[in-house]
């Protein structure tokens, strides 16, 4: 039988505690991620970008995290997204012991690492109340395998870490979910980037309504036409520029005001699909 790990086997140094406490103090003024792209020495693409919607710099540690961030941000019910969110190390150490799991650590020094959750998202429901959901992103092939049509979990050590996170958030009444690139595709991220170009665009409610009616009518009459052809048609009918019409479409997509199918890349030289 395996013995329960004693907490003293993993220690925490002063520098780790100081960094974590400073991060907690900083949160009293505004959010900042515990980890940034500068802190992570790993192979792969990282993204340090300014988000015009959250109006702050965002640090995403892989292409998959980038796409997941964009997918979550596209939801109408999202209030805020907090990435690279630190977990209290005293609590995660206790959870690891209770689960008979090894806490993330430097295997040479046995110094514990502060665990982070990739995204902690605050949503607002229809009644106006807010709730949070915690998400971890991992590439599908890093945690699953498919054998004879059956999907199995692999990398037990990784799932141990997920279990520690899940218990941490459960104690706070927060749902915890593991996402992969199958939950946030390249096309969805591409489309949101395209829509986001119109973030500062201004239009009246009446103009948006007029455009929505005109675009749906044009699409219904010729659903296989290229998107740019619909823009040209509406520009000719309204006397507005092609760019203005495109900005209206992007704004509508950004704010979920048109039932646009975003499963495929939206391109000017391709048809667009509406979910009517």
pLDDT tens for 38-79 read 988 666 689 999 999 999 999 999 999 999 999 999 998 999
The second-level CATH assignment, the architecture, of 7-179 is 3-Layer(aba) Sandwich (3.40)
Phi and psi at residue 33, to the nearest 5°: -65, 145
* Torsion angle defined by CA atoms of residues 55, 56, 57 and 61, in that order, rounded to the nearest 10 degrees: -90
Domain limits, the chain: 7-179, 186-254
| DSSP labels, 60-76 | ESSHHHHHHHHHHHT-T
Q: pLDDT digits over 199-227, tens only?
A: 999 999 999 999 999 999 999 999 999 99
Angle between helices 63-73 and 186-196 (to 10 degrees): 60
Nearest to 215 by CA among 245, 251, 255, 254: 245
Q: How confident is the model at residue 164 (pLDDT cuts 50, 70, 90)?
A: very high
Q: Which residues lie closer than 8 Å to 117 by C-beta, 6 or more apart?
A: 85, 87, 134, 135, 136, 165, 169, 176
Indicate the pairing of strand 56-60 with strand 150-153. unpaired
């Amino acid at each position: 039988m395996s013995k329960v790990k004693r907490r003293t086997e993993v220690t925490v140094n002063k520098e780790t505690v100081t960094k974590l406490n400073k991060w907690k103090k900083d949160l009293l003024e505004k959010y900042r991620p515990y980890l940034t792209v500068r802190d992570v020495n790993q192979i792969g693409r990282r993204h340090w970008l300014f988000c015009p919607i959250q109006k702050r710099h965002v640090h995403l540690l892989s292409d998959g995290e980038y796409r997941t961030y964009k997918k979550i941000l596209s939801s109408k019910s999202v209030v805020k997204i907090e990435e690279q969110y630190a977990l209290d190390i005293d609590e995660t150490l206790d959870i690891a012991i209770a689960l008979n799991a090894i806490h993330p650590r430097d295997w040479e020094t046995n110094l514990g690492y502060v665990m982070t959750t990739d995204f902690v998202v605050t949503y607002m429901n229809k009644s106006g109340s807010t709730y949070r959901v915690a998400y971890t992103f991992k590439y599908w092939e890093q945690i699953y395998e498919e054998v004879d049509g059956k999907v199995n979990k692999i990398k037990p050590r990784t799932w141990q870490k997920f279990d520690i996170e899940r218990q941490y958030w459960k104690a706070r009444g927060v749902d915890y979910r593991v996402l992969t690139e199958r939950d946030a595709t390249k096309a969805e991220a591409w489309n949101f980037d395209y829509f986001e170009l119109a973030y500062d665009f201004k239009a009246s409610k009446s103009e948006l309504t007029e455009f929505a009616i005109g675009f749906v009518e044009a699409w219904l009459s010729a659903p296989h036409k290229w998107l740019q052809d619909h823009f040209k048609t509406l520009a000719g009918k309204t006397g507005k520029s092609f760019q203005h019409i495109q900005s209206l479409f992007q704004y509508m997509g950004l704010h979920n005001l048109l039932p646009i199918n975003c499963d495929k890349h939206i391109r000017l030289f391709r048809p667009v699909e509406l979910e009517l």
